[in-house]
Amino acid sequence: MAPSASSASTSAARGGSADAVVVPPLPPHTNVRRLPPTQQLNALLTLIRDTHTPRSDFIFYSDRVIRLVVEEGLNALPTLPKTVVTPTGREYSGLSFEGRICGVSILRAGEAMEGGLREVCRSVRIGKILIQRDEETAKPKLFYAKLPSDIAQRWVMLLDPMLATGGSAIQAIEVLLSHGVAPERILFLNLIASPEGLQNLYARFPQVQCVTAWIDEGLDEMNYIVPGLGDFGNRFYSG
């Protein structure tokens, strides 16, 4: 299942663009960052899209994509100039991150992204939001929210691997705004987005930033993303 050392290095030597794949154009939302569609990213996504991929591999390769998305999310954060002295005694004029961050996962699938955030942001605070479909109204309903008390002073990495209709993400963003978070300080980190989800999200919150690994074709009649990867939470937690 894992790429061999030789196949990985051959891909790298080719420069890593996704040649065999039709990459759809970016939707007209300026605040969407999509990861560069490299061969490596496409191969990782192919592994987790494959219905025959066993759970342990699904977790391993999802974690790799999550890590890429989190790193790209950090690229969206502002920086300040910072000069340090290196062991050679010379000055280096570099950068430091400005401001503090926290994570907020949309349960349950968003929890799968917490590890990737913790790997790059040690001791990061992580809140949780549970939104489920209200059986009476068929609309997403907030069931639970536990957020860091100083969240309004932080940049918020909102975590949910699949952006389907956008209903949960929109409701989660409303919760964040009601806790004083400025919309431009919200980074929605996501593995696969649908065009419909992005459209709905940006119709409501144009200032929110979104980082996604891939934008798929659309939704099926059950509101699953297609081609997608199925139910992310089921495959990650119970496969």
With contacts defined by CB under 6 A, how many residues of the chain interact with ligand URA?
9
From 2-10, 50-58, 69-77, 224-232, span contacting ligand URA (CB under 6 A)? 224-232
Q: Are 117 and 126 in contact (CB under 8 A)?
A: yes
The residue within the footprint of ligand URA, chosen from 47, 106, 156, 162 (CB under 6 A), is: 162
Please report whether residue 197 would count as binding ligand URA according to CB under 6 A: no
The least CB distance from residue 220 to ligand URA, in Å, is 8
Q: Are 181 and 205 in contact (CB under 8 A)?
A: no
Q: Are 193 and 215 in contact (CB under 8 A)?
A: yes
The footprint of ligand URA on residues 73-132 (CB under 6 A) is: 109
d(CA 37, CA 229): 17
The residue within the footprint of ligand URA, chosen from 60, 231, 237, 239 (CB under 6 A), is: 231
The residue behind tokens 């699904």 is 58
Please report whether residue 224 would count as binding ligand URA according to CB under 6 A: yes
Nearer to ligand URA, 44 or 225 (CB): 225
Q: Are 47 and 61 in contact (CB under 8 A)?
A: yes
Residue 153: how many other CB atoms lie within 10 Å: 13
Nearer to ligand URA, 187 or 192 (CB): 192
The least CB distance from residue 224 to ligand URA, in Å, is 4
CA distances from 31 to 26, 28, 147, 214 (A): 11, 9, 24, 15
From 48-56, 115-123, 148-156, 227-235, span contacting ligand URA (CB under 6 A)? 227-235
